[in-house]
Amino acid sequence: MSNKSHFHGSDLEKIESIYKINKYDIINFSGNVNPLGVSRNLIDLLSKNVHVIGMYPDREYTRLRKQLEKYIGVNYENIIVGNGSTELISIFINIIKPTKALIVGPTYSEYEREISIGGGFSNYYSLKEELDFKIDIKDLLSNITDDMDLLVICNPNNPTSTSIYSEDIKCILEYCHEKNIYVMVDETYIEFTKEMDKITSVGLTYSYDNLFITRGVSKFYASPGLRLGYGICGNKSIMEKINSLKNPWTINSLASFAGEVMFEDEGYIKLTKDFIEQERNRIYTELNSWKDIKVFPPTANFILIKILRDDIDSHELFETLIKKKIMIRDASTFPFLNSQFFRFCFMNKEQNDLILDELSRIFN
């Protein structure tokens, strides 16, 4: 492992090994995790109910799925839970076995990896920088060909922090339905958006049997260690196949219990949404006034930035900041991005002030 390596937000052990920094001292602006941390209410309830690990979880996870029904507003029979959204993405792709997929990028690399493992091939549709990485629906549709069998969309998208409204997703679904193309929408960051009701595609699962949506609790609920994800789909055949392939009890009893209570923690949900909205606006407004960078308008809990100078790149910026125990995401490894791009997520106010101050020393 050399210092030229690129790090994911979960690579704290690698950072610790290479840079000799205690991982607990690193401020992780790369993880995209809710800065409020795990809900205090959830911690208290888990500590009082730790005895549930002495029992097998319900094989059908009925209580958990019914709680999700109340949370997202669809019938629990259209909801499936898994060991993180990654498990569900993997099983879904394994079921439909796409031979040729189109991925809207730059985005998360796991989609291409899963398609490749299944023997499929992936093309990318490139979001345009000149449009601030917002999608051009007509142009996207013109790139969808008859030989494709899967379209993958991350909404809001990582790393661009752009979103697609459900009205546009509906147009995409209609077009793809006519061509027998499945559409997988990853809504990992949906709860962070200001206009969630206008962006989520959940309601469209009733009308389109070619739609599969994935979500999880790692980011918004600051619980990546729980490994709890869920999928939403109105296609009964697909859901039956997923259930037949999915191993039983992939969610442990404690994670299942956590899911049953976290989705009704309205105080935590509102506090998170309000804080992220406030910090998103504050940070974007500040950075947008600097001349040496270009800032792309964010809709999620992170922001993508382009360096407009030739004397520093994203790798050098990472090196400079990690020595100060600040970890950003060098975005040069994402498709269509280069060493001019970096990303960071919004942490608590004091930490956000710190990264703004450090970036100001370099760019302002």
pLDDT of res. 18: 86
Per-residue pLDDT tens for 82-114?
999 999 999 999 999 999 999 999 999 999 999
Residue 41 C-beta-side C-alpha neighbours within 13 Å: 12
3-state secondary structure 12-33: HHHHHHHHCCCHHHCEECCCCC
Nearest-angstrom CA–CA distance, 276 and 270: 10
**How many C-beta neighbours within 10 Å does residue 171 have?**
16
The percentage of the chain sitting over the pLDDT mark of 90, rounded to a whole number, equals 91
Per-residue model confidence as pLDDT tens digits over 247-259: 899 999 999 999 9
3-state secondary structure of 272: helix
What average pLDDT does range 280-299 have in this prediction? 98
Residues 94, 113: Cα–Cα separation, whole Å: 12
Query: CA dihedral defined by 344, 350, 354, 357, rounded to 10 degrees?
Result: 110
Phi, psi of 126 (to 5 degrees): -90, 120
d(C-alpha 300, C-alpha 286), whole Å: 17
Q: Residue 217: is its pLDDT beyond 70?
A: yes
β-strands 211-216, 228-232: how paired? antiparallel
Question: CA 66, CA 63: separation in Å to the nearest integer?
Answer: 5
The answer for 185, left when phi > 0, alpha when psi is -120 to 50, beta otherwise, is beta
pLDDT reading at 3 higher than 60:
no
Question: Quick check: 328 pLDDT over 50?
Answer: yes
Alpha helices in the chain, H assignment, sequence order: 12-19, 40-48, 62-72, 84-96, 110-117, 137-142, 166-178, 196-199, 236-245, 253-262, 266-287, 314-322, 349-363
DSSP letter, residue 342? E
What pLDDT score was predicted for residue 19? 87
- Answer whether residue 73 shows pLDDT above 70: yes
**pLDDT for res 2:** 35
Name which of 163, 165, 183 is nearest 173 in CA terms.
183
Tell me: pLDDT of 1 over 60.
no
Q: Which of 345, 327, 346, 222 is nearest to 279 (CA)?
A: 346
Q: Does the structure show a pLDDT above 60 at 4? A: no
CA distance 210 to 152: 12
